[in-house]
Amino acid sequence: MTVNTTAALEARGVTLGYEGNVVFRDLDIAIEPGRITGLLGPNGCGKSTLLKAFGRILKPTAGTIAFDGQDITGVSTRSVARRLALLPQKPLTPAATSVRDLVARGRHPHQSLWRPWTAEDARIVDEALEATGLTDIADRDAGSLSGGQLQRAWIALVLAQQAGTVLLDEPTTFLDLGHQVEVLSLVEQVNRDRGTTVVMVLHDLSLAARYCDRLILLADGRVAADGSPWDVLMPETLQESFGLRALVIPDPVSETPLVVPLLREGQELGSA
Ligand SMILES: Nc1ncnc2c1ncn2[C@@H]1O[C@H](COP(=O)(O)OP(=O)(O)OP(=O)(O)O)[C@@H](O)[C@H]1O
């Protein structure tokens, strides 16, 4: 088949979903290499489903998925493990594993491509622990970490994988605001320094605008808006997709859009 060779990832005519629940029909999306793309949309609109298809853990029932210009619709997760990293929404933490050993799994993704452990691997793991602020607790059991610490350990694992394309499903889950900004800055740094292609699902619209080059807003099984943060985060679009009345103003420093939710008329704080 012919694929768009300029795209890092491409869904073409894809039908995707679960038994008895088609989430997308005939979906076309191309992700450019070297950019940070944010997937946005209301709960249940299919952000994770699309990321799972890109990450090879959900197979489309029609259409193709291409990666670096190659049709990978039928290939296993393992075969692209070195080049494509996926942080799922709810990763399963293995029992009785230290934080360092969890992060080290990034050097042997999916236990594939086994090769002897090297000093270079150890250095990369140490750097990932340091970058995510986990060095001091690297020997703790991963199962004993707080939600935010564990999320950072998973981010460190993805960093240690050093894949050219990284898919992150809600990487800021469980993180306090300071750590959200820290983790997203780290993702931005990896993108700028190494040219890593990043696709991430985010719920915070202002943070998405600040850290993503392009936003894709999904709603009702389709792409509702796609473009720069200013193109996508328009009050009318937010009203339509999220039922959210919001003010969109420029951030005084970055000049990216800040989304300020407003109460609807007659709505009181704390009411549904
Ligand atoms: N394993 C599954 N089996 C059946 N249906 C599923 C499964 N996982 C998700 N779904 C359904 O598919 C649809 C899309 O779900 P998905 O998790 O992709 O949404 P999302 O946009 O990531 O949502 P959220 O913002 O709540 O994380 C939803 O209707 C959801 O209930």
CA distance 134 to 149: 8
CA distance 168 to 51: 8
Helices (H) and strands (E) in the chain, counts: 8, 12
CA distance 31 to 65: 11
Indicate the SS3 state at residue 232: helix
CA distance 190 to 104: 18
User: For 106-126, what is each residue's pLDDT tens digit?
Assistant: 998 766 556 788 999 999 999
Note the residue count of the chain: 272
| Closest CA to ligand 1's atom 31 | 44
Rounded distance from Cα 192 to ligand 1 centre (Å):
31
Rounded distance from Cα 52 to ligand 1 centre (Å):
11
User: For 49-72, what is each residue's pLDDT tens digit?
Assistant: 999 999 988 999 999 999 998 888
| Closest CA to ligand 1's atom 3 | 18
| Closest CA to ligand 1's atom 29 | 44
Give the pTM.
0.92
* ipTM tops the 0.85 cut: yes
pLDDT value of position 1? 45
Return averaged pLDDT per consecutive 10 residues of the chain, 272 residues in all. 71 95 97 97 96 93 93 77 88 90 89 76 97 96 93 95 96 92 93 96 97 97 96 96 95 95 71 52
